Structure 1
Amino acid sequence: MQLTTLIALALPALAGLASGQGASGSGQTTRYWDCCKPSCGWSAKTNSGKLIGTCSKNDQPLNDNGATASACDNGGSAYMCSNQSPWAVNDTVSYGWAAVRINGQTETTWCCACYELTFTSGPVSGKKMVVQASNTGGDLGNNHFDLAIPGGGVGLFNACTNQYGAPSSGWGAQYGGISSRAECDGFPEALKDGCYWRFDWFGGADNPGVSFKQVACPAAIVAKSGCQRSNDAIDETPTQD
């Protein structure tokens, strides 16, 4: 195989991202998975009217235009969809979702926007991850990306016990979650791959720093979440799964 072909395969979905406009800078990451309906799944959160997909307790798409209350509210029955777990595109690039807070912006600005994160510390230093903002973290700092990773800790809220029978404080520690890959073996089938991702592609990294820039959302992310901003072109670059 020619060198140019190898380079093309090694950098899927990144070639068209450099033209993305918007926020950029340095930031921090944490991780969570609380099973709650993401905040960008409520109506009127994006300028396109499209929302992050949400699911029933049985992990089926609701297609309710955001009307169902979150399972983290009293009597609510909308949950985070398992297909919003991270996955590796190749050895150096992954896709996923995150709760986000960007300095100087508001939720209606970042909901469903995509950001290319370049990790700057830990075992993933130099790797890239494109995340779509699906949620807003009330306890996040500025330029903060709380990566949605099954088993990453429930944080402030916990619908995982109700949805999947997780322990009362979620799997592992409330903040940080489980500590070993073997613990993923006991996870619900729909969440296992996302849990393994943390210890495989992500190398078990613990809140690595990042540089970030807003980019066009990859088509593969939009296809899963169903959300896109009206001023955001989709990056149709094919991915290598």
Structure 2
Amino acid sequence: MVSLKQLALLALATGAATVDAASGSGKTTRYWDCCKGSCGWSGKASVSAPIRSCDKSDNPLADMAAKNGCESGGKAYMCSNQSPWAVSDTLSYGFAAVRISGGTESSWCCACYKLTFTSGPAQGKQFIVQATNTGGDLGTNHFDLAMPGGGVGQFNGCTNEWGAPPNGWGQQYGGISSRSQCDSFPEKLKPGCYWRFDWFANSDNPTVNFEEVTCPKQITDRSGCVRNGQNPTQGIEGTALYRI
């Protein structure tokens, strides 16, 4: 049994507190499609507000009902600050599309999960992500990690928003293959792109152990979304670990 002291030490080390909810083992993939997240509409879950979306110029939108920019005539896109960032050599914060066994969008949207990588170069590192999206192509206990240059997947809003190539940067699934390709990205997306090759060590879809945690305030400040009944923890401030 985990003691209260152990829980307190865990919260101190990661900037998040465990909650009595989903946990297990799972898999990851990566993506960055620039589309408005599925948790960006009202009514998906009991939250303070839907996940924040941005206009084509990366300015936050006040209209939560704005149409997805990945649809014809849409103007709502993924905000650039929903990129991942390192807070230490072994801990990062970020966002993901999520599908957890036994749940629905009402239980996933805006929930945070502490991922501990169990394979690949990032093995042993921890990544706390907030669910901003889901996906019909995701499997069970699947975390599709949002990182610029990770591949657009099924949908591509990056060409409209940022002038990316017709199929996004790099391969449609998987994205770019080298750190130097980040150099040509829009300035706001470069840090999250470099993160993949620096902190994440270019890991290729590593497996994870996961547990639901209370979101750090540093994450919810970016997304604008807090699940009802939760008070964000005082997380760890990020550091500039990117070699730009």
Shift of 1:46: 1.9
Q: TM-score, normalised by structure 1?
A: 0.92
| TM superposition shift of 1:238 | 4.0
Residues 231/79 of structure 1: CA separation in 2 closer, same or farther (3 Å cut): same
Output the TM-score relative to the length of structure 2: 0.91
Moved over 6 A (4+): none
Q: Relative to structure 1, is the Cα distance of residues 181 and 16 closer, same or farther in structure 2, using a 3 angstrom cutoff?
A: closer
**SS at 2:121 equivalent:** helix
Identity among equivalent pairs (%): 62
> Aligned residue for 1:170?
168
Q: In the alignment, is the contact (CA less than 8 A) between 1:47 and 1:229 conserved in 2?
A: yes
> Per the alignment, in what secondary structure is the counterpart of residue 117 of structure 1?
strand
Pairing 1:1-150 to 2, within 5 Å after superposition: 14=14, 16-18=16-18, 20-64=19-63, 66-150=64-148
Query: Residue 22 of structure 1 aligns to a residue in which SS?
Result: strand
Deviations 1:187-223 (A, max 9, x none): 0001000000000000000000000000000000011
Question: For 1:42 and 1:234, how far apart are their aligned partners in 2?
Answer: 21
CA contact (8 A) 1:85 1:191 kept: yes
More deviation, 41-50/153-162: 41-50
Q: How far did residue 60 of structure 1 move?
A: 0.2
Gaps of 5+ in 1: 1-9
Name the CA distance, whole Å, in 2 between partners of 1:238 and 1:151: 26
> Which stretches in structure 2 are left out of the alignment for 5+ residues?
1-9, 240-244
Q: Indicate the SS of the match to 2:180.
A: helix
SS in 1 for 2:68: coil
Which residue of structure 1 aligns with residue 219 of structure 2? 221
1:83-117 Cα shifts (integer Å, max 9, x gaps): 00000000000000000000110011100000000
**Are the aligned partners of 1:32 and 1:151 in contact in 2 as well (CA < 8 Å)?**
yes
8 Å Cα contact 2:117-2:206 kept in structure 1: yes
Deviation at 1:67, TM superposition (A): 1.0
Opposite residue 39 of structure 1, the aligned amino acid is S
**SS of equivalent residue, structure 1 residue 132:** strand
Kept in 1: contact 2:31–2:174 (CA 8 A): yes
Kept after mapping to 2: 8 A contact 1:11/1:93: no
Worse-superposed segment, 38-47 or 179-188: 38-47
Alpha-carbon distance between aligned partners in 1 of 2:16 and 2:86, rounded to the nearest angstrom: 18
How far off is 1:15 after superposition?
A: 5.8
Corresponding residue for 2:189? Answer: 191
Q: Distance in 1 between matches of 2:156 and 2:237?
A: 33
SS at match of 2:81: helix
Q: Write the letter of the residue equivalent to 1:232.
A: Q
Question: Are the counterparts in 2 of residues 37 and 72 from structure 1 also a CA contact under 8 Å?
Answer: yes
| Offset of residue 43 of structure 1 | 1.1
Give the residue type in structure 1 aligned to 2:14.
L
**Secondary structure class of the residue paired with 2:211:** strand
